[in-house]
């Protein structure tokens, strides 16, 4: 009976103050969606870093008029460099082949370029991609070297942007969480006020503290859980509409977000939603109910 009593009190409580309940649930949902998105992004960025940095290359382009001697010297130096894992030499013909396949959709461009216009180059795979700088310093003044290009520079920019988006989502989640928290506190105060007679009688006849507080706390927890469910729906919709929809062109670039990732993040959202609500409600009651 007590469980049934508490549950019916929870539903009556949410319904009694339905506009406030809805506001509370919506803010909670937005906050938790942001939290979930931020969490997904975090995993996403991690995955992508693994994927991209593993395949990263440093290219050393040679001058057009590089001599045989300069090339062999460089090759020997690179082969014995402890920073370098692997060296591939790309001559003018190979560079042209690559160029042709890369721009096969633009035959005009391909026709305009002749094989000996493209520089020959060394493609290096580094033992540690982050040591690009020392490789650059070491070879930039070597004779015959025209330019050293590092892919990780470009990647760093992309990842900086992704990290910024992730931080913005997290900041939005926190700001919304504060709003949700205040709404929970307010809702609980209103609920406690509208039930003040019952609470007074309960205290008088010796109802235990948890029995007096449980309906209020659970009311907030239920709102938090509904909010996290809505957040889950929002994330699913975002995946469906954005990643699989309008952003699907970027699929090769972004590592895919799986349904598993979303299901994995849901317990986090539900846990945060439930616990934050319960904590807020409990603290509010301590000030407001003085049981």
Partner 1 sequence: MTKTYPKASRPSLDNVSVSIEKGEFVFFIGPSGSGKSTIIKMLLHEVAPNKGRVVVNGKDVTSMRSWKRPHFRRSIGCVFQDFRLLPNRTAYENVAFALEVIGKTKAVARRVVPEVLELVGLGGKEHRYPHELSGGEQQRVAVARAFVNRPLILLADEPTGNLDPDTSIEIMRLLDRINRTGTTVVMVTHDSNIVNQMRRRVVEIESGRIVRDQARGVYG
Is 81 one of the binding residues for partner 1 (CB under 8 A)? no
Is 240 one of the binding residues for partner 1 (CB under 8 A)? no
The CA distance from 6 to 211, in Å, is: 8
Is 208 one of the binding residues for partner 1 (CB under 8 A)? yes
The CA distance from 89 to 59, in Å, is: 10
Please answer whether residues 213 and 285 qualify as being in contact, where contact means their C-beta atoms are separated by less than 8 angstroms. Answer: yes
Identify which range of 47-55, 109-117, 205-213, 250-258 contacts partner 1 by CB under 8 A. Answer: 205-213
Is 1 one of the binding residues for partner 1 (CB under 8 A)? yes
**R_g over Cα of the chain:** 31
Among 82, 206, 252, 260, binds partner 1 (CB under 8 A): 206
Please answer whether residues 278 and 184 qualify as being in contact, where contact means their C-beta atoms are separated by less than 8 angstroms. Answer: no
Is 198 one of the binding residues for partner 1 (CB under 8 A)? yes
Q: What are phi and psi of 195, to 5 degrees?
A: -110, 20
CB-nearer residue toward partner 1: 2 or 54: 2
Residue 109's CB: how many other CB atoms inside 10 A? 13
Among 205, 249, 252, 259, binds partner 1 (CB under 8 A): 205
Identify which range of 92-100, 209-217, 229-237, 271-279 contacts partner 1 by CB under 8 A. Answer: 209-217
Among 211, 240, 264, 287, binds partner 1 (CB under 8 A): 211
Q: Which two tokens stand for residue 124?
A: 């290096």
The CA distance from 116 to 38, in Å, is: 49
Least separation, in Å, of the C-beta of 18 and partner 1?
A: 18
By CB under 8 A, name the binding residues for partner 1: 1-2, 5, 197-198, 200-209, 211-212
């Amino acid at each position: 009976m007590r469980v049934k009593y508490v549950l019916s009190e929870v539903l009556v409580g949410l319904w009694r103050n339905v506009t406030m309940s809805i506001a509370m649930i919506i803010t909670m949902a937005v906050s938790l969606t942001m939290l979930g998105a931020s969490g997904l992004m975090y995993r996403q960025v991690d995955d992508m870093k693994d994927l991209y940095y593993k395949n990263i290359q440093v290219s050393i382009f040679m001058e057009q008029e590089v001599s045989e001697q300069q090339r062999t010297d460089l090759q020997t130096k690179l082969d014995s460099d402890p920073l370098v894992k692997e060296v591939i030499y790309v001559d003018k013909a190979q560079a042209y082949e690559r160029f042709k396949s890369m721009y096969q959709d633009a035959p005009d461009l391909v026709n305009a370029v002749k094989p000996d216009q493209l520089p020959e180059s060394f493609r290096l795979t580094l033992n540690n991609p982050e040591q690009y700088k020392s490789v650059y310093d070491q070879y930039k003044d070597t004779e015959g070297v025209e330019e050293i290009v590092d892919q990780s520079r470009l990647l760093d920019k992309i990842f900086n942007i992704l990290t910024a988006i992730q931080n913005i989502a997290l900041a939005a989640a926190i700001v919304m969480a504060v709003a949700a928290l205040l709404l929970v506190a307010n809702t609980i105060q209103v609920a406690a006020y509208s039930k003040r007679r019952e609470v007074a009688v309960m205290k008088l006849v010796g109802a235990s503290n948890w029995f007096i507080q449980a309906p209020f706390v659970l009311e907030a927890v239920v709102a938090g859980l509904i909010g996290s469910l809505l957040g889950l729906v929002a994330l699913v919709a975002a995946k469906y509409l954005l990643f699989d929809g309008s952003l699907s062109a970027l699929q090769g670039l972004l590592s895919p977000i799986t349904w598993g990732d979303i299901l994995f993040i849901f317990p986090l959202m539900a846990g945060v939603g439930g616990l934050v609500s319960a904590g807020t409600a409990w603290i509010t009651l301590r000030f407001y109910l003085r049981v």
